Amino acid sequence: MSLIIAGRFQTFRAAESAAQKLFARGFLEEDVTLFFVNPSGQHARYPVGGDVGTDPGASAAPKGAGKGVTIGAVIGAVVGAAIFAVFHAPLLVSVIAAGVGAYIGSLAGAMSHTKKARTAGQAEEPARHAGVLVAVHVAPETQDQAATALREAGGLDIERASGRWKQGRWSDFDPLQPPHPVGEFAQSRV
C-alpha cells in the first residue's frame, strides 16, 4: 500500500494550478494525479444507478409493511363484517374492505418504520464532497510538504489515505469511503 495525500478543489483549473505547485516543489508527474469525484449518490455502483442497494432509512420498511398488512386486514375485515351485518350487503363487500384495509395498513406500516433524515444538530458520518481531487503519492517524509502545498493552493478537505498507486494514478480509490483528514488541515471549507 502507498501513502497518499489528497485535496479537493472546486474547478479543474484550480486543481491543475495545485499540481503545478507540487511539481515546482519537486514532486514527479507520475506521483500526482487529478480526477473528478461525483456527488454522493451518483457513483453508479448498481446497474440502475446509485451508491447503495437500500436506503438506510428504509431498511425496516418491509417489516413495518408486514405488520401493517396484518393489522389493516383485520380492521378491514371487521369493518366489512359490520357493513355486511348492518346493511345486509353482499359478502364481496367484506372481502373488498379487508383488501383495502390490508393495502392501507401496509402503507401506514412501511411509513411508520422508515427513519427520518438527520437534523442539523445530530452527528453525521463524514461524507466525501464532490469536486476535483488532486492525489499525491508521497513518502512519510514528504507528506507534510504535499499537504501544505495543497492547502496553500486552496485545497479543501486535505486527507491522508493508504491505497494502491499504479501507473501514475490512485487505482483503488473508493468515492464511498469517507476521507481521513490530515491533522492541522482538517478544517473543511465548502
Q: What is the mean pLDDT of the chain?
A: 85
Detail the DSSP E strand segments found in 2-155: 2-9, 32-37, 131-138
- Cβ proximity of 94 and 114 under 8 Å: no
Do 80 and 32 belong to one domain? no
Residue 117 pLDDT exceeds 60: no
Residue 136 lies inside a defined structural domain of this protein: yes
**Max mean pLDDT range (4-8, 69-73, 172-176):** 4-8
Residue 79 lies inside a defined structural domain of this protein: yes
Mean pLDDT of 28-51: 78
Which CATH number goes with the domain that contains 149?
3.30.70.1070
Strand pairing category for 2-9 and 131-138:
antiparallel
Q: Could you give the 3-state DSSP secondary structure of residue 47?
A: coil
pLDDT at 25: 94
Do 101 and 134 belong to one domain? no
pLDDT band at 120 (very low <50, low <70, confident <90, very high): very low
- Cβ proximity of 64 and 113 under 8 Å: yes
Do 140 and 181 belong to one domain? yes
Residue 186 pLDDT exceeds 70: no
Residue 68 pLDDT exceeds 50: yes
Residue 94 lies inside a defined structural domain of this protein: yes
Structural domain boundaries, residue 10? 2-40+129-185
Mean pLDDT of 96-104: 90
Among the listed residues 1, 2, 3, 7, the one whose alpha carbon sits nearest the alpha carbon of residue 135: 7
DSSP string, 76-116: HHHHHHHHHHHH---HHHHHHHHHHHHHHHHHHHHHHTSPP
35-39, 67-71, 121-125, range with the lowest pLDDT? 121-125
